[in-house]
Each structure stands twice: as structure tokens, then as C-alpha cells.
């Protein structure tokens, strides 16, 4: 049977018992041009929470009764297409379920074998997470040598990669923002940021000013809300703010308010949003540099693996409660692995 985690009810805050349901269906039948994939691992991303809302977004909301949309990795167990061979490890939109069909509409990428990397690393650094950090920093943020860079969610998978990419591209100062002293210590010790500030500081704007007295040239924003406001008040002349996410408000629309947008005028600065899907045609370019950084030891990464498809909703909540560290993945089937 195929276990499918569906959206039972739209959540208002964190996901709870009533949000999802597990239903069992027959394993889908593989038709001509299709392949059947046994799901091995799910990528747990904050954006999944936005798809649960009935609100306009970059993709349509998940409908009630539908499988929770998610990227993930799996192994091809049956194929009626030349595109995939049985045994291939593939990455794409698996959804929260045991089996998924690769179709003309839902294509997967085959992970090259023999890379010497484990699947979790590939899903983190060479997957959507690392790609988001890379395109946000280089393309949207136009990082250049000498920049003073601030990254929020710095202990998270995307943020920790973003800061290390900034460092590799010659940032003069890399400042993280994270939740609590433990995570802040990790951001400096593990990921090599120069400083890390606790976003719960009573006067975060002042703390940023102390460590970045010349202002912030590039801010990679994962969170929105008061943290974005604190950086806005410290933005440098012609500073750039890259909007990657707004995690503070995904569960709490009231946390969306920002008050300091007029600093963009005073400092001739800009704020630009992006969605990683737009860059699909350029993924390889990013993966080359990311793999290079990995092999050169310049891209420290951690994965936080939660076991069991049933625990996917709990794993999603970790992104918002701060209970995770590094990239959150759900292991659905441990036998799916890179050789």
C-alpha cells in the first residue's frame, strides 16, 4: 500500500493533529512514459507551510484531501521510460507519501552515482536549500568582495549556506542572526560567521549597529518582521535586501508588520524577492560552485533527520519552533541511499 499524508484541515498556526490525515491507497500503476518511485527522504521546507494556506502564492494552495506537496528523493523501482532506470536515485516533487509516479508533468532529476556524497548532503547542499542560498547571494543579492553581509536564520540550512557563500565570495564581515545562545555559538564556531546576534535581543537594531557600524550592504532575509525592521534601520547606502522567506509570519500574520521601509529611500536601497524555481535552467552552474565549496571544506553543513513518514508534520513544526539545526529531512525509507 501507499501511505499518503493529506491536508485534512488548514492550520491557523503550527500544524497540529487535525491538519493532516494519513490515508492508504494502492501503489500507483506505472503507465507508458512513467516511472514508479519509492520515496526515501523528504525535504522539509518552510514554504510547505505557506502552501497549506488558502492564500495567493507562487504555487496554488494544497487542496483539502490532497497529498502535502514536498520535494524529496527516492529510488526508481519500475520504469516505462528511457528517462529513468530502475535503481536510479532521483530528486523532485515526491509529496509526503511512500510512492510517487514520475510523469510528463512531474519530472525528477537523476542524481549522478559515484559522487561520494550521501543522499542527505545532496538534498541539503546541492538541493533547493543550497541553491536558494547561492542564487540569493550571487544573483539577487549581487554579493561583491568587501560587502558587510547579514544573514537571518543563520543556524538554518539556507542561512548557514548563505553566510558561507558570502564568505567565499569575499564578504568583509559576515553576521548571522539566530535564535538563542546555543545556535549563535554554532553559527560562529561551525559555520565561521564573524558574529551571531540573538534575534530576541531587546534592541537588535542597536546590536547590529555595534557590529556593523558602516551599515549592512547585503541582507539575506529568511524571516521578515522585526528582524527585517532592525536590519532596515542599519541598511548601508545602496544596500540590497534579498527576500528569501518570511518565516516569522507564516504561522502568525500579525508578525508581518514592518515599519522601517522608508529607510530604503534614505539609503537608496532595495528589497527584492525571489523564488528558486525561476532558476531551474541555471541549477547546474550553482551546483558546480557548491560542490567545489563542499569539496574544499568551505561549506559546513548539518542535517537534522527525523525518522518516519508519520513524523513529517512534527518535522515541519521544528522549522518554526527553532527545534531543528541545519537541514530538516524526514527519512521515509532508510534503504534508499546513494552508492
Positions touching its own copies (CB under 8 A) are 56-58, 224, 228, 243-246, 249, 253, 256-275, 278
The nearest distance, CB 233 to its own copies, in angstroms, is 8
- Residue 26, CA distances (Å) to 42, 206, 277 in order: 20, 58, 31
Spell out the SS3 assignment of 121-164. Answer: HHHHHCCHHHHHHHHHHHHHCCCCCCCEEEEECCCEHHHHHHHH
Nearer to its own copies, 262 or 280 (CB): 262
Nearer to its own copies, 234 or 328 (CB): 234
Nearer to its own copies, 79 or 233 (CB): 233
The nearest distance, CB 194 to its own copies, in angstroms, is 24
The nearest distance, CB 257 to its own copies, in angstroms, is 5
The nearest distance, CB 231 to its own copies, in angstroms, is 13
How does strand 148-152 pair with strand 109-110? unpaired
Nearer to its own copies, 157 or 184 (CB): 157
Nearer to its own copies, 39 or 269 (CB): 269
- In angstroms, rounded to a whole number, what is the distance separating the alpha carbons of residues 172 and 247? 27
Report residue 80: phi and psi, to 5°. -120, 35
Three cell numbers written together for 301 = 553543513
Report residue 292: phi and psi, to 5°. -60, -45
CB 155 within 8 A of CB 176: yes
DSSP bridge partners of 307? 331
**65: three-class secondary structure by DSSP:** coil
Nearer to its own copies, 40 or 224 (CB): 224
The nearest distance, CB 3 to its own copies, in angstroms, is 31
The nearest distance, CB 128 to its own copies, in angstroms, is 15
DSSP label at residue 327: E
Angle at 66 between CA 62 and CA 67, to 5 degrees: 95
Amino acid at each position: 500500500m501507499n501511505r499518503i499524508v493529506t491536508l485534512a484541515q488548514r492550520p491557523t498556526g503550527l500544524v497540529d493533529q487535525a491538519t493532516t490525515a494519513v490515508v492508504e491507497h494502492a501503489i500507483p500503476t506505472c503507465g507508458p512514459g512513467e516511472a514508479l518511485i519509492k520515496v526515501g527522504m523528504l525535504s522539509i521546507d518552510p514554504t510547505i507551510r505557506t502552501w497549506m494556506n488558502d492564500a495567493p502564492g507562487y504555487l496554488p494552495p494544497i487542496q483539502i484531501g490532497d497529498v502535502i506537496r514536498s520535494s524529496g528523493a527516492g529510488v526508481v523501482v519500475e520504469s516505462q521510460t528511457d528517462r529513468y532506470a530502475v535503481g536510479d536515485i532521483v530528486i523532485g516533487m515526491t509529496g509526503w507519501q511512500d510512492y510517487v509516479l514520475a510523469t510528463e508533468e512531474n519530472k525528477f532529476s537523476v542524481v549522478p552515482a559515484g559522487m561520494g556524497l550521501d543522499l542527505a548532503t545532496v538534498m541539503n547542499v546541492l538541493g533547493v536549500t543550497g541553491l536558494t542560498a547561492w542564487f540569493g547571494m550571487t544573483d539577487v543579492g549581487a554579493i561583491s568582495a568587501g560587502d558587510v553581509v547579514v544573514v537571518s536564520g543563520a543556524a538554518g540550512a539556507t542561512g548557514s549556506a548563505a553566510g558561507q557563500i558570502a564568505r567565499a565570495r569575499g564578504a568583509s564581515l559576515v553576521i548571522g542572526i539566530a535564535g538563542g545562545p546555543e545556535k549563535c555559538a554554532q553559527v560562529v564556531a561551525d559555520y565561521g560567521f564573524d558574529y551571531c546576534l540573538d534575534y530576541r535581543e531587546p534592541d537588535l537594531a542597536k546590536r547590529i549597529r555595534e557590529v556593523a557600524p558602516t551599515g549592512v550592504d547585503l541582507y539575506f532575509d529568511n524571516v521578515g518582521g522585526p528582524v527585517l525592521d532592525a536590519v532596515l534601520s542599519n541598511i548601508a547606502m545602496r544596500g540590497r535586501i534579498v527576500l528569501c522567506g518570511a518565516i516569522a509570519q507564516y504561522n502568525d500574520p500579525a508578525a508581518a508588520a514592518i515599519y522601517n521601509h522608508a529607510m530604503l529611500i534614505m539609503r537608496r536601497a532595495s528589497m527584492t524577492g525571489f523564488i528558486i524555481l525561476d532558476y531551474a535552467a541555471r541549477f547546474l552552474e550553482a551546483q558546480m560552485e557548491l560542490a567545489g565549496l563542499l569539496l574544499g571544506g568551505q561549506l559546513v553543513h548539518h542535517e537534522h533527520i527525523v525518522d518516519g513518514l508519520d513524523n513529517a508534520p512534527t518535522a515541519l513544526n521544528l522549522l518554526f519552533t527553532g527545534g531543528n539545526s541545519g537541514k530538516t529531512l524526514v527519512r521515509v525509507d532508510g534503504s534508499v541511499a546513494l552508492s
